[in-house]
Amino acid sequence: MYVLRANGESHRAWGDRMRNDVGPRLLDLEPSKLQLTVTEAPPPKLSLFPFKSQPIAIFNVYDDGEDPSRFSDALQNAASSVSGYEVEEAYPVAYDRAWSDGEPTPSPILLTMLRKKAGISSEEFIRRWHDGHTPLSLEIHPLWYYQRNVIREPVTEGADPSDGIVLEACRTRGDFLNPARFFGGALKMVPNMLRVANDIKGFLDMKKTETFYATEYHLRS
């Protein structure tokens, strides 16, 4: 997975360039699959999520070879910041895709860049994330899609420190952005919010963990 960060471009210009310039450049290198998650519009002004305003893009590159250098080289000058990682991917929830390559996934994506809390081991971080937080999320939130990526090692020099990348979606924008619907209903919303907050503060560094409002594209499936 390659994480690209913009510096000075508008969300619209950034999204257009990622889809129409950088994406085709990667497709020319013949990955077996290619997925793009990109912030192509500013985040909603009213939201419980502390969305970052900086444009970001994630290219999820699937390749049958063991050397990702051709992709790293192609992305070297594509943004002011490019960080590549080898990841271990899992799908606790997967949608049945009914749309074509190149079309946007018909729901917004909650993109989260995870940072481990200081003082806990990598093993404890994974245990708390996989065995605790994932089941809690599936219990509370109306998730339609949950892609979980554990960062194993960087594949680019000077990659930003990061521990995980999560892509989540609900069936509708309202399910995602309406707090009552996202947290299990009006009566359960507040206690469920407290459950989630208490859980994540046990294994995440919330000052360094980032959330973004994004759109997903399958460029090659």
Residue ranges of the chain with pLDDT lower than 50?
none
**Burial of 91 per CB tally in 10 Å (0-12, 13-18, 19+):** exposed
The per-residue pLDDT for 64 is: 87
Tell me the one-letter amino acid at 49: F
Q: What is the CATH number of the domain that holds 215?
A: 3.30.70.100
Element (H, E) at 37: strand 33-38
Q: What is the 3-state secondary structure (H, E, C) of 123-184?
A: HHHHHHHHHHHHHHHHHHCCEEEEEEEEEEEECCCCCCCCCEEEEEEECCHHHHHCHHHHCC
Task: State how far the Cα of 47 lies from the Cα of 122, in Å rounded to an integer.
Answer: 31
| pLDDT score, position 66 | 81
Please tell me the predicted confidence (pLDDT) of residue 46.
Answer: 87
For the chain, how many structural domains are there in total? 1
Distance CA 37, CA 31 (A): 16
Query: What is the pLDDT, as a whole number, of residue 72?
Result: 97
Domain of residue 118: give its range.
2-220
pLDDT for the residue numbered 52:
96
Q: pLDDT > 70: what percent of the chain?
A: 100
Q: Whole-angstrom Cα distance, residue 112 to residue 16? A: 22
Full-model pTM: 0.95
| Residues 221 and 97: beta-carbon distance below 8 Å | yes
